[in-house]
Amino acid sequence: MELLQQICVRYALLTCMLLFCPFSSAAPANFVFGDSLVDIGNNNFLVLSLAKANLYPNGIDLGNGVPTGRFCNGRTVPDIIFEKLGVPIPKEYLNPTTRGSVILNGVNYASGAGGILDSTGSNYIQRLSFNKQLSYFQKTKEDITNMIGPQRTEKLLNDAIFVVVFGSNDYINNYLLTNSATSQQYTPSKYQDLLISTFHGQLSTLHNLGARKFVVTDLGPLGCLPSQIVRNNTVGTCLDYINDYAKNYNAALKPMLNQLTSALPGSIFCYGEVNAAIQQFITNRPNYGFDVINAGCCGLGPLNGQLGCLPGANLCTNRINHLFWDPFHPTDSANAILAERFFSGGPDAISPYNIQQLVSM
1 pLDDT more than 60? no
CATH no. of 30-359? 3.40.50.1110
Residues 6+ apart with CB under 8 A from 261: 267, 268, 269
At 145-197, the pLDDT tens digits run 999 999 999 999 999 999 999 999 999 999 999 999 999 999 999 999 999 99
Give the C-alpha separation, 29 to 147, whole Å.
15
77 or 2: which leads in pLDDT: 77
Residues marked as catalytic: 36, 326, 329
CB contact at 8 A, 104 and 148? yes
* pLDDT over threshold 70, residue 77: yes
Cα–Cα distance for residue pair 89/282, rounded to 1 Å: 30
Contact by Cβ (8 Å): 170, 198: no
- Nearest residue to 216 via CA among 175, 258, 173: 258
Least confident of 13-27, 85-99, 165-179, 255-269: 13-27
Q: Distances from the Cα of 349 to the Cαs of 15, 84, 215, 352, in angstroms?
A: 41, 17, 12, 10
Write the single-letter amino acid at 96.
P
What lies within 8 Å, CB to CB, of 324 at 6+ separation is: 225, 226, 292, 293, 294, 295, 296, 297, 330, 331, 334
* pLDDT value at residue 234: 73
**Percent of the chain that is helix, strand, coil (3-state, to 5):** 50, 10, 40
Neighbours of 311 (CB within 10 A): 8
**pTM for the complete prediction?**
0.92
Q: What is the mean pLDDT of residues 105-127?
A: 98
Quote the pLDDT of residue 231.
Answer: 85
Q: pLDDT digits over 23-42, tens only?
A: 344 667 999 999 999 999 99
Q: 20 pLDDT band (50/70/90 cuts)?
A: very low
Identify the pLDDT of residue 85. 95
**What confidence category does residue 233 fall into, taking pLDDT thresholds of 50, 70 and 90?**
confident
Residue 196 is predicted with a pLDDT of 98
